[in-house]
Amino acid sequence: MHDSLENGKSVRSLNIIDDFNREVLNITIDTSLPSSKVITELEQLIDWRGKPEKIRVDNGPEFISEKLKDWCSKNEITLHYIQPGKPTQNALVERFNRTFRTEFLDVYLFENIRQMRNYSEIWMWMYNNERPHSALQYLTPREFLLKYGKLAATRANKFPTFQQNFNSDNKKLLIKNSTFECT
C-alpha cells in the first residue's frame, strides 16, 4: 500500500496476514519495499511463527522478482499469484487493506516513518487482540486461533504472538512535543 507523510514523502507498507484467523502477522513500513526487504521480513516471520506451505501475493514488482521466486523455491514454499486485475482472488488481504486504509492511514497524519511504525504496532496489537471480527464469529484473531486452531489453551502463553515479540513499549507514541497514550 502507498501513503505519504506530513512532509509529502511517499511511504509503502507490506501487510501480511494469516488466512486462517485473519491475524496481522506483520506490517512493514518503509520508503521502498524491494524484494530483498520482503524476503528479510518473510525470514523473520518464519523464524517467529514457522514456515507456511503457501504464500499468496498480487503481481507487484517486489513479488514477481526472480529473487523472491528463487527464495520460495529454496525454502519449499509455494508462491501463488493472483490473476492480474482479479483482487477478489486475494479478498482477505484486500479487505484488510481497506480496514488498514480507513482506520489507520486515512485517520492519522504522520510526521516521520518511525512514528508511523510505532503507531502501526499499537494498531496491529489492537486489531489482533481487542477488535472482534464478524467473519470470525465476533472473536478476535487470537481468540479464534485459541478456539479453532491447533493450539491448546495450556500452550497459549508460550505461542508467539505479536505482543510478546516486540521489545518496545508499544503503548506510547511520541509526537512533536508530547506523548500520545494508547489505552
- Lowest average pLDDT, out of 75-79, 93-97, 146-150, 155-159, goes to 155-159
Q: Which residues pair with 21 in a beta bridge?
A: none
Question: pTM value?
Answer: 0.81
What average pLDDT does this structure show over 133-148? 90
Give the model's pLDDT for residue 182. Answer: 43
Give the model's pLDDT for residue 142. Answer: 86
At residue 44, does pLDDT exceed 70?
yes
Task: Give the highest mean pLDDT range of 35-44, 46-55, 145-154.
Answer: 35-44
Rounded Cα distance between 13 and 101, Å, is 11
At residue 172, does pLDDT exceed 60?
no
User: Which residue segments constitute the domains of the chain, with CATH numbers given?
Assistant: 2-181 (3.30.420.10)
Give the model's pLDDT for residue 177. Answer: 38
- The packing angle between helices 66-74 and 35-49, to 10°, is 20
Give the model's pLDDT for residue 106. Answer: 94
At residue 167, does pLDDT exceed 50?
no
β-pairing, 10-17 with 24-30? Answer: antiparallel
Give the model's pLDDT for residue 157. Answer: 64
